Structure 1
Amino acid sequence: MLAALAGLALAGCATSRSAARFPDIDFATWTDDEPGYRLYPGDEIEVATPTAPELTRTVKVGPDGRVALPLIGDVMAADRSLPDLQTDISKAYSSQLLRPVVEVSLKTAGLKVFVGGEVTSPGAIDMPGDIDALQAVIMAGGFKPGAKTSEVVLIRRGPGGRAMARTIDLSKALKDPSRADRAALRRFDIVYVPRTAAAEAGVYMAQVRDMMPIGFSYSLNNPYGR
């Protein structure tokens, strides 16, 4: 599998802002545009019904991506925007209420990133707030001695659900954190610290996709049929 991913090339002038291109894995072009917020398992929302206040509930999006509401039962919430979910619930209540006014608001958001490769404790990391790639690595126990800190890979879900990837030189951040590109993270980002080649990130990503919440997936072509 590593042989199939060998030969990483960087676009442009090969800076840490460049998009990483992996043979056989169709990563989208990197963009820093912030997509609209979408709900995922672990998020807590309030579903208010002003015309029937007894039905107002604060509920958590379950592992299956659904929320349970009175009268209408389970409604799929994962990977839905707040306005879209509000519309879905209003339609569901239209058969139960004369005036199905619904207001959906976000109460708390489940924030996780995944850190893998040459770190002491790889796996899912709960984000305490805004963190960057170096902080995520430190929370995962720090770099192992064989880590290639100059070619850390950041994988993120891009427009339309397609995966994007770029490399980060965290060796600079270790020397001078104030001047280096430490890469602010977003929920469900994947930070991969390679041993020798950044192309190994493709193998890790094929493995970590199975740990993603229901309703959240990376869309890409890869040689593993996953």
Structure 2
Amino acid sequence: MRAPVSHALPAALAAILALSACASGPPRAPASASAKFTNIPYAAWEDYEPPYRFYPGDDVDVTVPSAPELSKTVTVQPDGRIAMPLIAPVMAADRTIPEVEAELSQAYAGQLLRPQVYVAAKAAPLKVYVGGEVGNPGIYDMAGDTDALRAIVQAGDFKSSADRSEVIVIRRGPNGAGMMRRVDLLNGLKSPAADLVPLRRFDIVYVPRSGVSAAGVFVQQYFRDLSPIQFGFSYAVNGQNR
């Protein structure tokens, strides 16, 4: 099911690029691809499985063994927080399971003798962004595992102006660094053995126009100024960003 692109997501890859600027090494791509993006400091691509991070709308199972009556399933609210009994709302958005567990346990330390809290993520859709020369660019909730080609098909398939051999996949890598790779989906349409790139949550798939310059302009300008998916959260709490 397609979700509309929110106006509250104005900084899509700003977070990734700010972090990836500290990463060293060019992307692992053919020389021809590297030449097109020489001033984009991406980390080398690797098949990295990022830790699960919560996102607004996610359901979270919270278990408090020493006080079972406090255990419940909560939803991450639009402001990124979850609400639990006896304590103030706790920030969960863009945090991993261990980070949320630690935050909740600390919050309950003043209420319980044994404040250990356990958190589990309930099944959540694989949310990816598909943009560029596709029928309906936007953020999509993918059912189950998927790859770049299937995501493009769900987004309305390639336009006639698309360069199917230069599809770009952006992923948040280790330590928040942005990783980029080029995928030849033209070959993927012909060969069952082709690597269609299995996608991870919050991956970005961009289909450029035919021609080298269009892809370069997108990566250099659009990714730096507009972020289709919010990779980092910054919420003001009592006048301070958290």
Q: TM-score range by the shorter chain?
A: 0.7 to 0.9
Cα offset, 1:67, TM superposition: 0.6
> What's the TM-score, normalizing by structure 2?
0.76
Q: Is the 8 A contact 2:58 2:76 kept in 1?
A: yes
Q: Structure with the greater relative contact order (CA < 8 A, sep ≥ 6): 1 or 2?
A: 2
In the alignment, which residue of structure 1 is the partner of 2:47? 32
Find out whether 1:108 has 2:123 as its counterpart.
yes
In the alignment, which residue of structure 2 is the partner of 1:66? 81
Q: Is the 8 A contact 1:94 1:100 kept in 2?
A: yes
Question: How many residue pairs get matched?
Answer: 205
Q: CA RMSD in A?
A: 2.4
In the alignment, which residue of structure 2 is the partner of 1:193? 207
Cα offset, 1:68, TM superposition: 0.9
In the alignment, which residue of structure 1 is the partner of 2:227? 209
Matches within 5 A, 1:10-25: 13-14=30-31, 22-25=37-40
Q: Is the 8 A contact 1:19 1:167 kept in 2?
A: no
Q: Structure 1: where are the runs of 5+ without partners?
A: 1-8, 217-226
Which aligned runs of 4 or more in structure 1 are off by greater than 3 angstroms?
A: 9-15, 18-21
In the alignment, which residue of structure 1 is the partner of 2:177? 162
Q: 1:193 to 1:22 in 2, by over 3 A?
A: same
In the alignment, which residue of structure 2 is the partner of 1:4? none
Structure 1, residues 180-221: CA drift from partner, whole Å, max 9, x if none?
A: 1211100111100000233244134235415426539xxxxx
Q: Structure 2: where are the runs of 5+ without partners?
A: 1-25, 235-242
Cα offset, 1:36, TM superposition: 2.4
Q: Is the 8 A contact 1:130 1:184 kept in 2?
A: yes
Which has the higher mean CA deviation after the structures are superposed, 75-84 or 164-173?
75-84
The CA distance in 2 between the partners of 1:142 and 1:109, in whole Å, is 24
Structure 1, residues 50-91: CA drift from partner, whole Å, max 9, x if none?
A: 221221110111222211111112101122221221121111
In the alignment, which residue of structure 1 is the partner of 2:61? 46
